[in-house]
Amino acid sequence: RHLLETVLAEERALEARAFFEGNTATQETPANLVLPREDDDPAVVGVAIVVDATCAYLGVAFLRELRRRGVATVSLFSEYLAATIEAAYGAPPPPELIAPRPGCERDWWAATLSAAEAREEELPLLAVLSESDAGIATAERLGDVLGARFRNEPSPRRRHKWLLHETLRDAGLASCPQRLCASAEDVTSFCAEVGFHKEVVVKPARGVASDGVRVCDTPAEAVAAFEQLRGTHRYAGGDNDRVLVQERLRGQEFAVDTISRDGEHRVCAVWRYDKRRLGADAPRVYFCSELVVQDDTDQVERAVVDALSATGHRNGPTHTEIMLSEDEKTAAIVEINARFHNQCFPPISAACLGATQLELAAAALLPGDDDDAWHDVIEVTERRRRSSTNTGGRIVHLVARRGGRVKAFDEERWRRLVELPTVVGADIYVDEPGEEVRRTVDVQTDAGWILLAGDKAAVDADYATILDEQDGLYELEEEEENGGSSETGAKRSE
């Protein structure tokens, strides 16, 4: 209990401090407020702030959807992402595009409304949401201080993986056996506690996209992974002074996308992961996320809804990963992400379910005495359960089993793949001779993606074809040895 309160206080203090010394914005620096176009909807119903909207098919698309529904928008970078941009490009974003520092929120918002010649009562703040994991704390802070109509109380419990599982355990929900380790002795002791014959997962307590995650077969491997991770800088700020070690959960992993409004949670999509082991350094490589239509996922969905309530999530989208045990008796949360599903899912959701998480999130924050918009969300999510069992969808991750400099790219093979009958979108990151392709070891190092949607049997057949053909896309000059890496070909979105 003492450790829990200590970690919670540390995380709150970390999220409250300024990350970016290059933030020259003051409380008088207004943000750019964009009104809906009159041909979209002349009646402006409020304004929403979107943090770290960088991806064309996620945050940027969500901004467009909001304006289409009559919601004015403000787009900001979190200080963490602003610092990342400065490090990458040598200059920070303009001050008006950076979120205000703690303590400056109200004056900044007044300046923003004044610059737009609007009054708060005419343009109420509806919500503050984030595309990125790093921006969630900023979004919650702004929504809380500015009194957004649909907001979540700021809490690291949904972001810090150790705090998350302690919260679930305290609520009597399924959780993962774990320990927050400050020494190699802590790691060895935990391995003994869960059983030396069991695999453990060593990971940062805050992180994304499998970064720094290692699956370990022995205590010695776990200690080595701990030593490699301890003291490194972690995603979203801070250092890995303590490292999280958890018993590895076994079973079928799912991802559940939800929309919440005032504590009522609706499931808008369920995805089944196909992850495969490609080596000691690549124990869980994503091959695809399969849209689950009409299968019995009630147990998984209930577990997610219970976890969202237990951790205090009340408004906005989430993307939650959860493991259904091999005996199907226990559904245990892996992690909760209070943001959109961070893959190019919209074409599949639109084709198979008739609506996307982006559209439903925009509808859920519309004001109205009769809550017609929220009732529409409920109807759409209920209709999902009645969808045709013949409908199928897959987000296919292209896997490069070898890495190195590209000698030749098989354009004809790639053309055949993207012209398969159920393809609704595709992208490949490296397709020119002389470029470096990285060997795929996790979701950050995949070689691209192909989206499939349509008749389930046809989708499954096209997936099998991709698996058979993808290894022949590259002819390499030299193969990487021991999983060497190159930054070229990294995922273009977080």
* CA R_g for the chain: 23
What was the pLDDT predicted at 485?
41
Write down the pLDDT at residue 440: 94
Helix (H) / strand (E) element for 333: namely strand 331-337
Beta bridge partners of 209: none
Q: How many residues does the structure list for the chain?
A: 494
> Residue 433 has what pLDDT?
95
Cα–Cα distance between 363 and 376 in angstroms, integer?
Answer: 8
For 294, the token pair is 């009409």
Q: Please give the Cα distance from 142 to 157 (Å, whole number).
A: 18
Beta strands in 29-119 (DSSP E): 33-34, 46-51, 71-76
CA distance 135 to 153: 15
Q: What is the DSSP string of 144-181?
A: HHHT-SB-----GGGTSHHHHHHHHHHTT-----EEEE
Alpha carbons 397 and 384: distance in angstroms, whole number: 25
d(CA 336, CA 164): 8
What is the pLDDT, as a whole number, of residue 492? Answer: 32
6: left (phi over 0), alpha (psi -120 to 50) or beta: alpha
pTM (2 decimals)?
0.90
Written as six digits, the tokens of 491 are 């995922």
How far apart CA 492 and CA 494 sit, in angstroms, is 7
Q: How many CB atoms lie within 10 A of CB 82?
A: 24
Mean pLDDT (10-residue bins), the chain, 494 residues: 85 73 64 78 85 95 94 93 90 91 91 84 91 94 96 92 95 94 94 88 80 86 91 76 92 95 93 90 89 86 96 97 91 94 92 91 81 78 68 95 95 97 96 94 92 95 97 82 39 33
The residues facing 272 across adjacent strands are 254, 290
For residue 290, give every residue at least 6 positions away whose Cβ sits within 8 Å of its Cβ, in sequence order, or none.
271, 272, 273, 274, 392, 393, 394
d(CA 169, CA 175): 6
Contact present, 27 and 104 (Cβ < 8 Å): yes
Pairwise CA distance, residues 32 & 54, whole Å: 16
The CA distances from residue 377 to 67, 71, 147, 188, 356, in Å, are 18, 17, 24, 48, 10
* Alpha helices (H) along 325-371: 346-353, 357-364
